[in-house]
Amino acid sequence: MTNPKITVLMPAFNAGKYIREAINSVLEQSFTDFELLIVNDGSTDHTLSVIDSFRDERIRVINQQNAGVAAALNNGLQHSNAPLIARFDADDICYHDRLRIQYDFITSHSYYSIVGSAVDYVDVEGNYVFTFYPSGKNNEELIRPDFQNCPFIHSSVIYRRDVVLNVGGYNEHAYTFEDHLLWKNLLRKENACNLGQALIQVRLNPESITIDEKWRTRRFRSIKQDALRKGDITSTEGKRLRKIGERQGGKKIKEGAYYALLGKKYLWNNYQPVMARKNLRKVIWLAPFHIKYYILLLFSFLPEKALSLFYHSVKTNLDNYETPGVSWSADVKKIKLWKLKG
């Protein structure tokens, strides 16, 4: 396809477990005028053989040596044939009308350059966990300074290719937050919004390089926040982030962060105390010095109404309040401050 209306841009690295389902969810879209551009980022598992098993002219594949998500996306942007880019990840699922809804919206609202959506989060096995509704919906809300929360779920976004290329694409030094940095720079001059409807399923995956931010080291968070404030990050800073990330890349930390996130979401966002306790106990077994999760385990025995009142009180009044606890990281165990809220 030489002139599709949309390029669905999918980077893939060792996604053999999930990519077949992801590809099928794109090929079965009600909107059909698209190309699916998959950038195989040096996978060493059977990702490429799964991709090659499809016989659909809308699929294009670029193979590159492993260079990371941002480099894969920049490569894909250079080779895409459509003016609109629909981002998508190789372990997520597109709902049947995702492309149709976003295409109709962005073409009928030409002043928008970026359109995201709500998403349904599922666990590694595909079980529903909770629905995430972005806090910023319209352009006025999205342009407010907020260096803690990314304004979009990356794989839910459709955007105009030229506006991203005009700012230089994704910063390849922004390890794990290349999208957040891009949005911060784009929103200075481009209009954007989030649709309230969930259009994709995002898989929480302990194998991902992105983990719950609370499990990152203080140094990692400091460099990241500084980069977001500046709107840029240096090669040296990027190397520091990658080094920290690689130290935290062990199975124990990734699983701990994964179960911690599930425990919090089943507690705060989708009240299922039995599931919350199941996952929080796994965290405590993996990271017994994480005092915060003992507290959350106790909270899971509260009635839903009392827990909800407590959560909203903390969220409203204690956003900047931190209580002493113990944080467990890959390199050392240090005393740190941890927020009570999830």
Helix (H) or strand (E) holding 12: strand 6-12
Q: Are strands 191-203 and 112-122 parallel, antiparallel or unpaired?
A: parallel
pLDDT at 323 over 50: no
Distance separating alpha carbons of residues 258 and 261, to the nearest angstrom: 5
106-126: average pLDDT: 96
Q: pLDDT tens digit string along 135-149? A: 889 888 898 866 678
70-80: average pLDDT: 98
Given this model, what pLDDT does residue 315 score?
A: 56
pLDDT at 325 over 60: no
Q: Can you give the pTM of this predicted structure?
A: 0.88
190-202: average pLDDT: 97
pLDDT at 51 over 80: yes
pLDDT at 334 over 70: no
Percent of the chain whose predicted confidence (pLDDT) is above 90: 75
304-319: average pLDDT: 70
The angle subtended at Cα 254 by Cα 249 and Cα 257, nearest 5°, is 135
Q: Name the 3-class secondary structure at 252.
A: helix
Given this model, what pLDDT does residue 270 score?
A: 94
Confidence tier at 20 by pLDDT (50, 70, 90)? very high
Could you tell me the two tokens for 187? Answer: 């929103």
Given this model, what pLDDT does residue 336 score?
A: 32
Helix (H) or strand (E) holding 48: helix 47-52
CB atoms within 10 A of CB 82: 19
Given this model, what pLDDT does residue 340 score?
A: 35
Given this model, what pLDDT does residue 249 score?
A: 78
Given this model, what pLDDT does residue 13 score?
A: 96
b/e per residue 29-55 (b: at least 16 CB within 10 A): bebeebbbbbbbbbbeeebbebbeebe
Distance separating alpha carbons of residues 91 and 265, to the nearest angstrom: 20
Percent of the chain whose predicted confidence (pLDDT) is above 70: 90
Q: Tell me which of 3-12, 77-86, 113-122, 147-156 is least confident.
A: 147-156
Question: Is there a contact between 75 and 183 (Cβ–Cβ < 8 Å)?
Answer: no
301-307: average pLDDT: 90
Given this model, what pLDDT does residue 316 score?
A: 53
Q: How far is CA 1 from CA 36, 85, 90, 214, 282, in A?
A: 10, 15, 21, 43, 48
CB atoms within 10 A of CB 205: 20
Cα 202 to chain centroid distance, Å, stands at 8
Given this model, what pLDDT does residue 208 score?
A: 80
72-84: average pLDDT: 98
Question: Is there a contact between 158 and 103 (Cβ–Cβ < 8 Å)?
Answer: yes
Given this model, what pLDDT does residue 335 score?
A: 25
Q: Helix 178-186 vs helix 218-230: angle between axes, to the nearest 10 degrees? A: 20
Sign of CA dihedral 197, 318, 129, 307: negative
Given this model, what pLDDT does residue 147 score?
A: 61
Q: Are strands 84-87 and 191-203 parallel, antiparallel or unpaired?
A: unpaired
Q: pLDDT tens digit string along 139-185? A: 888 988 666 789 999 999 999 999 999 999 999 999 999 999 999 99
Nearest to 12 by CA among 277, 162, 207: 207
